[in-house]
Amino acid sequence: MLYVEQGLEAKVVAEMIGISEVTICRWNKKEQWRKLRADRITAPQKLATHYYRQCEMIVAQANTEKRVLTDKEAATISKLTIAIDNVGKPDNMRLYMHAMKAFILYLMRKNPDLGRQITDYQISFIKDILNKGPWNY
């Protein structure tokens, strides 16, 4: 998932998890990771375009009927606008978890004692995010 979701290169992933780059490349080819990564990158853009079209269709229908938007239509457009704004934004908690896990794996190889100490702070950080939100800790 480091290659697909975080966009890391095979060499970096291999170093992070302690295997050869050749192995990563073999898995990449077998599991079609390049396609998965490309799909992951383009999926949000396709979804946003779909949401925009839905908004346009609602407005066009009201214009054709020469009327203002109903409350339901306005609420739908509002929801679609929020969805458009959120599409493509990473799932913050998952991103935090992946980054923290990768960092701890790295740190445990470099300095196991420090890695164990930092883990306690990471757990506290995650709890704060869950309780207070990602930007209020």
Q: What is the pLDDT of residues 34-82, one digit of tens each?
A: 887 777 766 777 888 888 899 999 999 999 999 999 999 999 999 998 8
Same domain, 95 and 128: yes
| Domains held by the chain: number | 3
Inside any domain, residue 57: yes
CA 71 to chain centre: 32
Question: Which ranges of 1-137 does DSSP label H, i.e. alpha helix?
Answer: 10-17, 21-31, 33-64, 71-86, 92-110, 112-132
Q: What residues have CB less than 8 Å from 134, skipping those under 6 apart?
A: 92, 93, 96
Confidence (pTM):
0.44
The residue from 51, 71, 89 where one domain ends is 89
Inside any domain, residue 37: no
Inside any domain, residue 129: yes
17-22 contacts at long range (C-beta below 8 A, 24 or more positions apart): 17/105, 18/109
